Structure 1
Amino acid sequence: MPERLELTKNAHFYLPKNDVTDEIIQNLLDEASSNMEEGGVFIIDEFRKEAFVEESEFNYIYSIKVFPSVRPVYFLNDEIEDRIHAYIIVIEYNGHYAILRKSCSNISELIKDNFELIGSTELSRTFNHDAEYQKMALRNMTVSDRAMRARSYEAADLKGLLSTHSAGRSIPYYLKIRQGSAIKSISGTGRIVEASQRISIDDIASWVKEQVELLANATDNEFLEAFAKKVELNDVLDITTPNALLIESTQLYERIEKDGLVLKYKLSKGKSVVISNRIKQRLFQELEKTYEVDSNYQIVGRAGESKIKKNPKTLTIHSKVLSSFRVVEKGKEVTLQRYIIKNGFYSITFADPKYMYFMGACFQDSSGISEINSILDILHPIPDMANVTSEKGDFSTNQQAFELGSMFELVERIHQGDNYVFCDDLGIEWADHITLNCTDGCISFIHSKHGDQTTSASKLHDVVGQGIKNLGNMFFTQQQLVQRIETKFNDFYKNSGTQTQIHRVRIGDVTRVESDLESLLKNYQLHRKCILSCSFISKSSIATEFRKIQAGQPVAGHITQLLWIISSFAHAVRDMHSIPIIYCAP
C-alpha cells in the first residue's frame, strides 16, 4: 500500500529522549489521526514495518496512517464541512526519527514528552562553505516598541553582501539555501524542506538517511557563526532572570488569518462563542504590548493572573486571559495560550541583555566576537605592500607615472587589468582612484594611506572616515562621471606646487568612455567596491590579536577599537549594497 504515496521532502527530525517503544509510536499515530471523520476508515495503516532500499542498501522502519478528515466551513452560517485527507508518516533510521504530516491533529505534547527536536541551528551546520544563502529572516534580540524587531534579506548569495556588523544580536529563524543543485529551506521550528518532485516513500527514506549522515558530519558554519548562538536555558537562568515578555502578535495574527482559524471565548457557563471583530481587534491590541516580568516571574500589573512558567528545558506562559480564548484548529478547540506556546509565538528577554528566549530556545548575543572571521575576510594581503615607502612618492616636472614604491603606483598596478583607472586625488575628490572594469561589471573607489605597520586604530580611523564619506558618490550617473572626465580628469596631476606629466586618466581610452559607461551602468551584474589601501596594516598581526578576542584572552584597548572601526566600515559599505575590501600587508 505505501507504494501509492507520492511525497515531497518536508519533515521535522528528532532524537529520542528515552527508548522508543511500540506504545509511544502507536500513541503518536493515534493522536495524529484523532481528527478522522466519524465512520471513516484508514486508507493506509502501517505500523513499524521494516523496508530495504536495494539501490542504497539500507534498512529503515516506517509507520503510516492516511485517513479522511473534515473541517468546518466558516464562511457559511450553516453546518457544512470540507472533506480532506490527512497523513502522518514516521520514518526511523539510525536512531533518528523523521516525521512528515499534513492536516492531522496536534501531537506537540506527545512529541515534547518523548523526543528532542533537531532545531534549525543544528540543521544549518549541515551546509558547507560552498552553500549559497539566498534568503534569510532575522529576529532582533529586543522587545522594545521603538526598535526594529525583525527583518529579511534576499540575494543570489548573502555571504559577502549582508553586513554582519552587530549580527550577534540577530537570531536567524528562516533560511533558504542552495547547496549544489539542491535548494533547502529551514524554519525556526526545525522543519526542513527541499524542493523536489513528489517521490516514493523509499526515496523519502533515502533523503532522510542523507540528512542524518549530514548531521553526523556537521561542522561550524563561518557565515552563521556571526549570528546569535543557541545556549542552554538552565545555564542562562543560573546567571539572570526574565524581565520582559512579548507575544509575537504579527506572526500569530498572520497564521490565524492565513489558516482561516476561528477565535472563540469561553463563557463562565462553559459555552464557547465566536468573538466579534471588535473584540478580536482589542485582543490583538493588548497582545502587541510588551509586558514587564518581575523577579518572581509574575507579569507586572497582572500578578496572580499571568506569569512566566519555568519548565525543565523551556519557558512558557501561564495566563488566565489567554486560556479563556480558544482557537478552532482542524475541528478542535485549543486555548489561545496553548496555540501560542505550541507555535513559539512569544519572546522573553532577560535582565542581562545578552540573552533572549525565542521560538522555544535561548540565544546569546555574540556581537563583536562572532563577526571576526568575516572581518578578517575583508583584509586582502598584497605581497608588494611591504615595499611601499610612501603614499604618493616624490614629483618632478617631466614625471609621467607615480614613483615606484608609492601606494598610488601599487594601486594602479593592482588594477592594471581594469578598463579605466582615474586619479581623483586632491581638490573635491570622490576617492584617490576610481576604476571601471567593464568585463567584470565593477566600479571601485580606492582610498589610500601609508604609514609604518601598527595595530593602532587612529590611522585607520582617518581613511575609514574618508571612505564612508564618499559612499554616496559611488552611485554616480553617467552624466556626472563624464563631466568629471571632461573637466578634472582631462588634466595633469599637480602636487606640492610641482606640475607633473602624470595624466589623471591613468588607464583607458576616453573617446569610448561614454558608450562603455552606458553599458556598465546597465549591466545587471554591476557591483561596487569600496577599497581602502593601507600599508600600515598587516593581516597576520591583526589576525593574531583578533584570535585572542575570540579565545576570551585580554587585548589592549586599541585592538577592540580597531575591531569596531573595521566592523563599522564593513557595515556602512554593505548597507550601501557595496563590497568592503582592505588592501594590506600579509
Structure 2
Amino acid sequence: MTREEQIGNLVLNENAYFYNKIKAGFLPETLIKTTFREASYEKMGRYLLKVVKNKHRLANKDIEYSICVFKYRKKPTFINEEIQEWEEIKLAYIVIVDFDEYVAISKRNISGTKELDKRILSIDYKTISSLFIDDTTTFEKFSMNNMNISDNAIRQKSMEAIDLKENVSTLGLHSYILSNVRLNNDGGKVSLSLNSSRINKFGKKNNLDFFISWADVIVDKIENINDTENFLSSFATPLDFDSERQSLKPIAILLILTKLNADYEANRIESTTLVFNEYKRDIDLLSILDSFSRLIEIREFVSAHGNSYFKVNTKIVNDLSISINSKSITLRSQKLKNLIIKFSDETKISIIDYFNKYNSFIINFDRVELVYSHRKLFRDNKLLGNIDAFLSVFRPFKELKEVSSEKGMVEAESTYFSRESIFGFVEDNFLEESRFFLCDDLGKEWADHIGLYEDSISFFHSKYKDSKFSASDFQDIVGQAQKNLGNLSPSEYQWQMKVNFWNNYYVLDHVSTQINRVRKGESAEAAMEYFKQLQSFPNLKKKVYLVINFISKADLADRLELLKEGKTFKERNEVIQILWFISSLVLSCNEVNAETYIICKP
C-alpha cells in the first residue's frame, strides 16, 4: 500500500484538541520531527506512517498536516517483571493539523509532546464553553470540580439529565469549575473538555479530508466567537491570568489527591521510590501525602535582591514553594523532585512534576474572590456579595463568653457537663425542646450531640479554642461537619452499632462517668426508632450547628466589611479563609437540604 493509500485508509472521529499558537505561522519542520521523536520514543522498528508538513488546500485557505503512526511494546499490567513473549503490541498515532494561528491535534496512545506544548496554548475556557451554545441548546451532562479550599468539600461532581438547564438550580454553581460538558443541538451531540480544550462531536468516523474540514469549521467558530452570557455563566468565571498575575499574592494552598487516589485504585501506580544520588528506598506515598490533605499557609518572603517569593509553610517538606509564571502557577521542591512514581506502563515521574502536570492543587489569594485551579484563574462573583447572607447563619449567644473549655472537668460521679463547657452550653440551650437528645462524642461519631425534635434532626459540632479568627481551627470543625452530612440520613447497617454506643456511659480520658449518652429520652432503642420515623417525614428539616467560642459575630462582620472595602488589617488572610470555609459549609449543607447555623459569641 502506497503512502497516499495509507493516508486515505485512515478513519478519524470528529474529536481533537484545539490550541492557539503563541506565535502565528506554520510550525517548523524541526519541531514536527522533534514532536514525533518525543511521542514515539518507545516505538518498535520504523514508523508505519510518517508525513511531515503536507500542504492541503481548503476553500479559502492553505493548511498543513503531519501524521505519525507507529507500533510499540507494553508490559501487561497483571505481571510484575517482564517475561519473554508476555507483551502487548499496541499502535499509536498523532495527527497535527496546522492552521497558521491554530492547531488541531488528534491522537491515541500518545504521551510526551513537550517541545510542541511550549508553542501552543489551550483555547480559552470561556471561548470553548460558548462555541456550540444557542437558545435551543440542551445541556445533558456536567462534570465539575469544586474550587473551595475546604479539605472535606465534595471535590468532584457529575450530573446528567435530558436538559440540566431545566432542573438544576444555579444556587452554588458559582463555586464549581466546569471540566466537561455534553451538549445537544437538535440531535447533534458534542462533548467539551474545557480544561484541555478537547472537542468531540458524536458521530461516525470518516477520512482525513473530512476530519480536516471539520477542524476548519471549529477554527472558524473560535475566530468568530461572540462573548455572550449563557447558562454556563452561572459557574465560576475564568480570568485572563497574564493580566492579573502581577497582583497575585497567594496565601494558602490545598493539594488535591483525587487523581493520585484514582491512579492507585486503578493499579496504575506500581511503586514510589526516594532517589538521592546512589540512595534508593521504597516509600509509602499516601501516608506522606496525608500530611498535605489540609489547607496549608503560604508565606511571602523577600530575597536579598528585593524580589518576593512564596514558600508553603509545612515542616514535612521545607523547600516547597510557589512559582508564579507568565502563564501559570507551578510548585517547586527539590526534595519532592527526588520522590519518583513508577507506573505500570513503565513511565516514571517525580511527585512534584505529577502535581504540576495534573495541576492537582487549589490556591487562594489575598484578593478574596480569586482562586487558581486547573491551570486557570477563577473569580467567585458572589463570594463578597454574599457576605450578608453568610453572616445570617451566625447566631450570637452571650453565654459563650463565659465558657472555659469544650467538655469541662468530668469525674467518675459526674452526671452532666458543667455549664462552663461548650457541651454544657449546648445541652442547656438545645436539649429542652427535643424529643431525644444524644451525646455522640468520641468513637465513630456523627456529631458531638444529636437532637431529635418534632419535625427535625439536628447535628451539633462543638469546638473550644483560645484563638481568635483562627482559620485552621475553623477548618477543623467545618471539616467535621462536612464529612458527617451523609449521616443525617444513615443507612440501616449503621444502627446497631449506634444503639450499642448510646447505651453506654460517657468516658473521657479513661474516666468512666455517670453521664448517660441518652441525655433526654427513654432509651437508645427508642431514639433509634424515632430517628427512623423522622427520616420518613416528607417535610423533615435537617439542621447542622457549629458551636464555637473563638469567633465573635460582631468582630467577624467588622472584618468582612473591611474585606469588601479592600482594606488591610491584621487578620486579613485568616478572615479570607474563614469566608471560603463558610461558603463551603453552606453549599455542602444546601446539597443535602440541610440548614446551617453557627453558634458563636456576640
* TM-score, scaled relative to structure 1: 0.58
1:79 CA drift (Å): 1.0
Q: Which whole-Å CA distance do the structure 1 matches of 2:80 and 2:110 have between them?
A: 25
Determine if the alignment matches structure 1 residue 298 to structure 2 residue 311. yes
Aligned partner letter, 2:19: Y
Q: For residues 64 and 208 of structure 2, what CA distance do their matches in structure 1 show?
A: 11
CA distance in 2: counterparts of 1:24 and 1:320, whole angstroms: 30
Counting only pairs closer than 5 Å after superposition, residues 175-574 of structure 1 correspond to structure 2 as 175-187=181-193, 188-219=195-226, 220-255=228-263, 257-258=265-266, 260-270=268-278, 275=282, 279-296=284-301, 297-302=310-315, 304-328=318-342, 330-367=345-382
Contact persistence 1:15–1:116 (CA under 8 A):
yes
Contact 1:225-1:370 at 8 Å conserved across structures: no
Structure-2 residue corresponding to 1:60: 63
Q: Which amino acid aligns with 1:132?
A: T
CA drift at 1:98: 0.6
CA distance in 2, matches of 1:33, 1:370: 52
Post-superposition Cα deviations, 1:456-476, rounded to whole Å, max 9, x if no partner, equal: xxxxxxxxxxxxxxxxxxxxx
Aligned residue type for 2:382: S
Deviation of the 1:84 alpha carbon = 1.0
Contact 1:227 1:366 in 2 (8 A): no
Larger radius of gyration: 1
Deviation of the 1:48 alpha carbon: 0.7
Q: How many residues align?
A: 369
Q: Deviations over 1:212-240 (max 9, x none)?
A: 11112222242112221111234444444
Aligned to 2:53: 48
Contact 1:15/1:96 (8 A) holds in 2 = yes
Instruction: Give 2:182's aligned amino acid.
Output: K
- Whether 1:102 aligns to 2:117 is no
**1:135 Cα deviation after fit:** 1.0
Letter of the structure 2 residue corresponding to residue 96 of structure 1: Y
CA RMSD of aligned residues (A): 3.0
Q: Distance in 2 between matches of 1:281 and 1:75?
A: 22
AA of the residue aligned to 1:143: I
Question: Counterparts of 2:186 and 2:278 in 1: how far apart (Å)?
Answer: 56
Offset of 1:271 from its aligned partner? 6.6
Aligned pair in 2 of structure 1 residues 326, 241: CA closer, same or farther (>3 Å)?
same
Residue 68 of structure 1 deviates from its aligned partner by 0.8
Identity of aligned residues (%): 21
Give, in angstroms, the shift of residue 304 of structure 1: 4.3
State the Cα distance separating 1:52 from its structure 2 match: 4.1
- 1:352-381 per-residue CA deviation (whole Å, 9 max, x = no partner) reads 23111111111111228999xxxxxxxxxx
Q: Are 1:73 and 2:76 counterparts?
A: yes
Distance 1:177 1:148 in 2: 24
Mapped partners of 1:177, 1:30: distance in 2: 36
Q: Name stretches of at least 5 consecutive residues in structure 1 with no aligned partner.
A: 372-570, 578-586
1:245, distance to aligned residue in structure 2 (A) = 1.7
The answer (yes or no) to whether the contact 2:369–2:384 under 8 Å persists in 1 is no
Secondary structure, aligned partner of 1:160: helix
Report what 2:31 is aligned to. Answer: 24
Partner of 2:140: 134
Deviation (angstroms), 1:128: 2.0
- In structure 2, the CA distance between the partners of 1:339 and 1:281, relative to structure 1 (3 Å rule), is closer
Cα distance in 1 for partners of 2:10, 2:201 equals: 18
Instruction: Kindly provide the amino acid, as one letter, of the partner of residue 299 in structure 1.
Output: V
CA contact (8 A) 2:71 2:92 kept: yes
User: Are 2:92 and 1:86 aligned?
Assistant: yes
Residue 32 of structure 1 deviates from its aligned partner by: 1.3
Q: Secondary structure at the match of 1:159?
A: helix
- The answer on whether the counterparts of 2:43 and 2:72 sit within 8 Å (CA) in structure 1 is yes
**Conserved 8 A contact 2:19-2:104:** yes
Q: Distance in 1 between matches of 2:378 and 2:369?
A: 8
